[in-house]
Amino acid sequence: MTARTSAIHRLANGPFSRNPAASIALILVLFGLAGAIAPTCYAVAAQLSA
């Protein structure tokens, strides 16, 4: 019986491990999206609490 491979293990050994530039670009895009979404979430939370 083989053990199931976790998602983290699959990501660590997937295409991004063979192409570090792509993984860095993906991380930057994700942080950019988070930075773009965060002020909107903060504004909505401020309006809901008012």
In tens digits, what is the pLDDT along the chain, a chain of 50 residues?
Answer: 467 778 878 777 877 778 888 888 888 998 999 888 888 888 888 888 87
Determine the Cα–Cα distance for residues 29 and 37; give it in Å rounded to an integer: 12
pLDDT for res 29: 92
pTM of the model: 0.54
- Cα–Cα distance for residue pair 36/50, rounded to 1 Å: 23
pLDDT at 2: 60
> φ, ψ for residue 5 (rounded to 5)?
-85, 130
